[in-house]
């Protein structure tokens, strides 16, 4: 099981790195620069700073997945904290996917619906992967 989880952690790390990089074309497609210019200067700054920090958090999640996935799999207090914290992060992101984004932003729109469901599956998979690592940390799985 550890070998499979190691592989899945590396795949997840690669996917999160891709997600961080994809913020550039996503921002262009959604015209974030033009939209942000309509905000007050302080809100525009907050928007750009938060976008940067979202990408930074993704990169910080990527590094242990790619460089040292054993952090999630060798039982330790730190490994348990990071595993359960990452799982909670992605579970909350999944919740927001369904209950914070308004349904009219994607329902009845084929591309937006496909993206919505794709990200639903990704957030669910990440939450489950890190919860599984948390279960390994807790000694519930070998």
Mean pLDDT of the chain: 96
Q: How many structural domains comprise the chain?
A: 1
Q: 108 vs 26, 30, 35, CA distance in Å?
A: 21, 19, 24
**Chain centroid, CA 66 distance in Å:** 15
pLDDT band at 142 (very low <50, low <70, confident <90, very high): confident
Is 51:27 a contact under the CB 8 Å cutoff? yes
3-state SS assignment for residue 107 = coil
DSSP states of 107-127 as a string? TT-HHHHHHHHHHHHHHHHHH
Q: Which residue has the tokens 């992967």?
A: 129
Residues making up the chain, counted from first to last: 142
User: Tens of pLDDT along 48-67?
Assistant: 999 999 999 999 999 999 99
**Residue 22 is part of which domain span?**
2-138
Residues 30, 15: Cα–Cα separation, whole Å: 21
Is 11:42 a contact under the CB 8 Å cutoff? no
User: Tens of pLDDT along 37-48?
Assistant: 999 999 999 999
């Amino acid at each position: 099981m550890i070998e499979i989880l190691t592989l899945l952690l590396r795949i997840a790390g690669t996917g999160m790195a891709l997600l961080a990089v994809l913020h550039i074309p996503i921002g262009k497609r959604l015209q974030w620069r033009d939209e942000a210019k309509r905000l007050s200067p302080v809100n525009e700054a907050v928007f750009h700073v938060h976008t940067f920090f979202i990408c930074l958090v993704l990169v910080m999640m990527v590094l242990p997945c790619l460089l040292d996935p054993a952090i999630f799999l060798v039982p330790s207090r730190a490994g348990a904290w990071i595993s359960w914290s990452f799982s909670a992060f992605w579970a909350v992101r999944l919740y927001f996917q369904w209950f914070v984004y308004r349904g009219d932003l994607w329902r009845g729109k084929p591309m937006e619906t496909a993206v919505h469901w794709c990200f639903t599956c990704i957030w669910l998979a990440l939450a489950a992967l890190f919860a599984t690592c948390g279960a390994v940390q807790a000694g519930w799985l070998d």
